[in-house]
Amino acid sequence: MSSTKSPKTIATINFKGGVGKTTVTWCLGDILSSTSSMRGLMFDLDAQMSLTQAIALNENTGFLQERFSKWYDIARQRKKTIFDALDAFTKPVPHFDFPVGFDFIYKITDNFHFIPSVEDLYWLELEVFDRNGVKDFIRRLLGKISNSKQLPSYDFVLFDCPPSFTLLSYSVLSCCDLVLIPVNPDFFASKGVALILNSLRLRIEPHPLPKIGIFMNKAKTWSNAPTKEVQFYMREIQRVCDEAAKSQAIEARFFKSYIRERAGVKRAITGGGVPPEMIKDFQNLWRECVEFIG
């Protein structure tokens, strides 16, 4: 990367599935890279590959995106996937030998680039036992990307994390600027937030915990304001957040901005794009993330 300014690194995580981690990650990246001059890189770290498959699928034709499919096949054949990078990192050799370029990073658009997931990540937990051996993987990989002359400078890096605490999540959480937690207006999603807030420190220690930003996703609205039910859960999560910040000594903030529930957003990745009326929601969310990161 030519710029000396380091990118803002944000990991989207929630132990509860279905809260919208993947969609939010993609929408944020898409909007930032298409409505501003910023350039972004996005990682899919979930072995379920939802983000990778959504990008691969062309909803209009029902077939796989030819350009991505060809690129992905070659990346796997040449052992240039995230799993291969991790494999190289954990080898008992002095240097992390894994050259990075556009054979490892896919160009969705000129300003929005992507590192896809692979199914092999499913078995990662069985193959790698030393979590401290993996801890610095993402930090070192980002360093390689920053120092690569082939790659451009990135203003932001987004990580779509799995709905569980994996070795890769550990590696991301120990080096990112912000953990972004989407929550839905229901009890189980709120409980997921409470669980992360009250257990993350124990898992990350002795490494410093990143800042944690929580926001309401899929918020039902009435007359342009969240419904009373959504407001109830917003108050509850605010309370959980305040209590955890106090008892766990963590920097956690419940954001004022929220993402409204809209049917169209589910098809955003596979071809529909972000519904125009939702662009402002994501821009507001990004503004709060940046303010919080400082």
Q: Interface with other proteins by CB under 8 A: which residues?
A: 187, 190-191, 194-195, 198-199, 202, 227-233, 235-236, 239-240, 243
Asked whether the beta carbons of 82 and 41 are under 8 A apart, the reply is: no
Cβ of residue 193: shortest distance to other proteins, in angstroms? 9
Cβ of residue 180: shortest distance to other proteins, in angstroms? 20
Q: Which is nearer to other proteins, 103 or 242 (CB)?
A: 242
Which residue, 117, 107, 109, is CA-closest to 31?
109
Q: Which is nearer to other proteins, 239 or 266 (CB)?
A: 239
**Run of H or E including 256:** strand 252-260
- The total of other beta-carbon atoms located within 10 Å of residue 44's CB is 28
Reading the block at residue 50, the tokens are 């939802």
Q: Which is nearer to other proteins, 149 or 228 (CB)?
A: 228
Cβ of residue 191: shortest distance to other proteins, in angstroms? 6
The distance of Cα 157 from the centroid of its chain, to the nearest Å, equals 8
Cβ of residue 230: shortest distance to other proteins, in angstroms? 7
Q: Where are the alpha helices (DSSP H) in the chain?
A: 21-35, 50-56, 66-77, 82-90, 124-127, 131-135, 137-147, 167-173, 187-204, 228-248, 279-293
Cβ of residue 190: shortest distance to other proteins, in angstroms? 6
Q: Which is nearer to other proteins, 41 or 183 (CB)?
A: 183
Q: Which is nearer to other proteins, 31 or 181 (CB)?
A: 181
- Residue 48, judged by CB atoms within 10 A of its CB (0-12, 13-18, 19+), counts as middle
